[in-house]
């Protein structure tokens, strides 16, 4: 049965009986010498550091590690996953994907998280229309994929509410889009995005009034919090972050900081307040506010 082993290393092999068919299982081997092995045996095949035990010409089970952890069971063709199958997490053994494979790639089916909730659905591999889900099973995204990333038109949700609709490129918001307040469905921003950042367009409060306008990622902006639109920040904005001069407020409306910002942090000459009372006036350096 064992025709040839090209190696000076000790390799432990044992025989097991499954449905009265004698199969050879590789229990442990040195991966660094795998290329020097030439094992020819019925129902057995080395496969990228794992091993497969075939139950028929197309049906098999794939294992990994010294403890024989099952990571896949299903159909094969030419040594690759092709057809219906199930993939399991190699760390906890839970179902990871169920559906159809094409040349070792997930093609049509459903992916799951470690809690058994739907994580995504594929209709045409990692290209085409897909759906992503939060761990609680609620829809997170629906749209198009290219090479496993969001691409083209898509929509994002939070607690079943639409929070964004627009264009994607390489997994990020790029191009025209609309963003909505998560708590009242009102339009928050409309315009163009660049690499997930608001770039050109207008921002609105929950009553539809214009708060700010951005051009090439720069402009004056006002940020609000909550249904009652409590003002948190007013000042200069660049590349999707607070940059330049601005004012920041506590949730109770009192002034918290007035001065210069760099990439959302207090940076430069500034004044810090408590209940509108000045408590510091210093030069800040990348201070976490």
The residue ranges of every structural domain in the chain are 217-289
Residue 225 tokens read as 């919090």
| Predicted pLDDT of residue 273 | 95
| Predicted pLDDT of residue 66 | 63
Q: How far apart are CA 145 and CA 16, in angstroms?
A: 44
Say if residue 20's pLDDT is above 80. Answer: no
Tell me which DSSP letter residue 124 carries. Answer: B
Q: How far apart are CA 101 and CA 95, in angstroms?
A: 15
Residues in the chain: 289
Cβ distance 219 to 213 under 8 Å?
yes
| Burial of residue 180, with CB atoms counted within 10 A of its CB: 0-12 exposed, 13-18 middle, 19 or more buried | buried
Whole-angstrom CA distances from 261 to 16, 203, 235, 268, 287 are 68, 20, 9, 7, 9
Rounded mean pLDDT of 202-225? 84
Whole-angstrom CA distances from 25 to 33, 67, 84, 166 are 17, 12, 24, 52
| Predicted pLDDT of residue 156 | 97
- Alpha carbon 119 to its chain centroid, in Å, reads 10
Query: Is the CATH number of domain 217-289 3.10.20.90?
Result: no
Q: Of 220 and 167, which is predicted with more confidence?
A: 167
Cβ distance 82 to 103 under 8 Å?
yes
Where residue 151 falls among pLDDT bands split at 50, 70, 90? very high
Lowest mean pLDDT among 88-97, 136-145, 217-226: 217-226
Lowest mean pLDDT among 52-56, 188-192, 207-211, 276-280: 52-56
Whole-angstrom CA distances from 59 to 15, 42, 73, 82, 107 are 20, 14, 8, 10, 18
Q: What is the mean pLDDT of the chain?
A: 80
In tens, the pLDDT along 170-194 reads 999 999 999 999 888 899 999 999 9
Rounded mean pLDDT of 142-156? 89
Give the contacts of 127 (CB within 8 A, at least 6 positions apart): 145, 146, 147
Q: Of 82 and 287, which is predicted with more confidence?
A: 82
Say if residue 39's pLDDT is above 90. Answer: no
Q: How far apart are CA 73 and CA 78, in angstroms?
A: 15
- Model's pTM, two decimal places? 0.55
Cβ distance 88 to 107 under 8 Å?
no
Say if residue 86's pLDDT is above 90. Answer: yes
């Amino acid at each position: 049965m064992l025709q040839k082993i090209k190696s000076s290393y000790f390799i432990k092999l044992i025989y097991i009986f499954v449905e009265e068919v004698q199969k050879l299982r590789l229990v442990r081997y040195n991966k660094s010498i795998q290329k020097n092995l030439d094992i020819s045996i019925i129902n057995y095949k080395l496969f990228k550091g794992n091993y497969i035990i075939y139950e028929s010409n197309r049906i098999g089970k794939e294992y990994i590690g010294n403890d024989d952890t099952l990571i896949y069971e299903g159909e094969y063709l030419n040594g690759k996953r092709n057809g219906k199958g199930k993939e399991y997490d190699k760390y906890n053994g839970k179902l990871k994907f169920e559906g159809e494979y094409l040349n070792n790639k997930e093609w049509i089916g459903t992916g799951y998280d470690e809690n058994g909730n739907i994580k995504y659905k594929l209709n045409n591999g990692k290209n085409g229309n897909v759906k992503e889900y939060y761990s609680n099973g609620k829809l997170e995204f629906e749209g198009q994929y290219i090479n496993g990333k969001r691409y083209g038109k898509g929509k994002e949700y939070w607690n079943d509410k639409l929070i964004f609709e627009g264009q994607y490129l390489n997994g990020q918001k790029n191009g025209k889009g609309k963003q909505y307040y998560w708590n009242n469905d009102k339009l928050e921003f409309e315009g163009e995005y660049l690499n997930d950042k608001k770039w050109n367009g207008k921002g609105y409060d929950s009553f539809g009034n214009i708060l700010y306008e951005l051009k090439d990622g720069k402009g004056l902006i006002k940020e609000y919090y909550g249904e009652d639109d409590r003002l948190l920040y007013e000042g200069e904005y660049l590349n999707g972050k607070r940059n330049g001069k601005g004012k920041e407020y506590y949730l109770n409306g009192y002034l918290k900081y007035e001065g210069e910002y760099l990439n959302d942090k207090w940076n430069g000459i500034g004044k810090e307040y408590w209940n509108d009372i000045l408590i510091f006036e210093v030069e800040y350096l990348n201070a976490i506010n």
